[in-house]
Structure 1
Amino acid sequence: MRHPNSRTLHAYWDARRRGGSAPARADIAPQDLGALLSNLFLLRRMDQDHHVFRLAGTGLCRLHQREFRDQNFLSLWSGHDRTLISALLEGALSAPAPASALADAVTLDGRACAVELSVLPLRGPEGQIDRVLGLYQPLDAARLGGRPVVRHRVSLINPARLPDPSVSVFAGRSRTLRPQLAANDG
């Protein structure tokens, strides 16, 4: 975690879990996180492919120039980046442990801004760890020139734990490992 807001949220989450694996959603008080609210979001896991926004801060909505309530968080990502972010969320929920990523938020005209994404697992009202408290922290939003973000590219993942051993992540690059075929025509 690079940004001070990410560290603040992690310290708050850690204090709220009181030695347990994850705090309950009810233990998170928005008024405690006033300075972070505009970039916070809350997701509920419906299944592996659907992590639905329950709340989305005004800063997050403003950067994308749209509302997110009841939309799938994974719709912000495509292709391999979507697979990586899905693995990040699933790992954070199954571990349970905080996880983070760096990504480029990109406008239609190609302007980009680095974004730090922090995800922290929460217990829902039934006691299951099926929610994520997240922070979408732009590192230099002025670079976007007021244009809406239309896509994201993952540049770094710091997983809680990857649920799929075929997914490998490392600084500056992400890829899926596939068996290599070799010809022996020699």
Structure 2
Amino acid sequence: MNPMRHDATSELFGYWNRLRGTRAAPERKEITPAPMRSYLADTFILQASGTSEPRFRLAGTRICSIYGRELKGLSFASLWHTRDKNTISRLVKNSMTSKSVVQLNYEGRSARGRKVLLKLLLLPLASEANEQHLMGMITAIGRPFWLESDAIVENRIQSVSIIDPRNQVVPGIDPIHARMEAAASVPLPSSRTIVSRKVGHLRVFDGGKITE
């Protein structure tokens, strides 16, 4: 059995998916702490009003520890390397508007130059008047001893997967690990190309390739 199918991101996706039912996304008021208790420290909420950039509305204690500061009110794009700021902004806004799920692996670099691979999950919530929200999760792939004591100061995208949970997926494949070809088209800057390969009717994304 693949243990990746039972990690925290899959659990959060399952909770979100059950809440939304047949809708594109659940409402923010439906999200309650109790079912998320075991991974609440790794979750966050992003909020964007009108044309403003998405900012942290809430951030779990472990996420704040990883970045060495309180993240509430901070621009989400500000955590990323200069070359990735536009890409991450487009991914977030696309998730908010199209209600697609985004899973992203990225490298975090610490103040002392250490590196760790982390996973980001973005789950859209129903729009509210002039506001849009996302629920997300950040988890480390492996937990180096220095994490939470040597603050991450910069993120760099490694690979991106975009999933439309409303599309049918292959039986037996956890949708959070299935890369749906139908939802895989996101405008990205010309300086970044995301390399992919087809597996049946799915498109699997490998590590981001930078073209200088």
TM-score bucket of the superposed structures, by smaller chain:
0.7 to 0.9
Matches within 5 A, 1:1-186: 2=4, 4-46=7-49, 50-126=53-129, 130-145=132-147, 146-160=149-163, 161=183, 162-164=185-187, 168-170=193-195, 171-175=206-210
Counting aligned pairs with the same residue, the percent is: 23
Which amino acid counterpart does residue 55 of structure 2 have in structure 1? V
Give secondary structure in 2 for the equivalent of 1:142. Answer: coil
Which amino acid counterpart does residue 131 of structure 1 have in structure 2? H
- Cα contact 2:87–2:189 (8 A) shared by 1: no
Answer with 44-53 or 151-160: which moved more.
Answer: 44-53
Q: Relative to 1, partners in 2 of residues 1:94 and 1:163: Cα closer, same or farther, differing over 3 Å?
A: farther
- Cα contact 2:47–2:131 (8 A) shared by 1: no
Give secondary structure in 1 for the equivalent of 2:77. Answer: helix
Which amino acid counterpart does residue 173 of structure 1 have in structure 2? G
Report what 1:182 is aligned to: none
How much does 1:163 deviate? 4.2
CA distance in 1, matches of 2:50, 2:150: 32
CA distance in 2, matches of 1:86, 1:92: 10
TM-score by length of 2: 0.74
CA distance in 2, matches of 1:67, 1:47: 24
Which amino acid counterpart does residue 119 of structure 1 have in structure 2? L
| 1:29-64 superposed Cα distances (whole Å, 9 cap, x missing partner) | 111100111110000023566111110000000111
Q: Relative to 1, partners in 2 of residues 1:34 and 1:173: Cα closer, same or farther, differing over 3 Å?
A: same
Give secondary structure in 2 for the equivalent of 1:14. Answer: helix
CA distance in 1, matches of 2:186, 2:50: 14
How many residue pairs get matched? 175
CA RMSD of aligned residues (A): 2.3
Q: Relative contact order: is structure 1 or structure 2 higher (C-alpha 8 Å, sep ≥ 6)?
A: 1
Give secondary structure in 1 for the equivalent of 2:94. Answer: helix
- Cα contact 2:91–2:102 (8 A) shared by 1: yes
Answer with 105-114 or 5-14: which moved more.
Answer: 105-114
Answer with 109-118 or 78-87: which moved more.
Answer: 78-87
TM-score by length of 1: 0.84
Q: Relative to 1, partners in 2 of residues 1:60 and 1:78: Cα closer, same or farther, differing over 3 Å?
A: same
- Cα contact 1:39–1:57 (8 A) shared by 2: yes
CA distance in 1, matches of 2:52, 2:114: 28
Q: Which has the larger radius of gyration?
A: 1
| 1:52-110 superposed Cα distances (whole Å, 9 cap, x missing partner) | 11100000001111001111111101322112211221221222121110001111222
**Structure 2: runs of 5+ lacking an equivalent:** 164-182, 196-205
Answer with 58-67 or 80-89: which moved more.
Answer: 80-89
Q: Relative to 1, partners in 2 of residues 1:129 and 1:69: Cα closer, same or farther, differing over 3 Å?
A: closer
Answer with 71-80 or 136-145: which moved more.
Answer: 136-145
**Structure 1: runs of 5+ lacking an equivalent:** 179-186
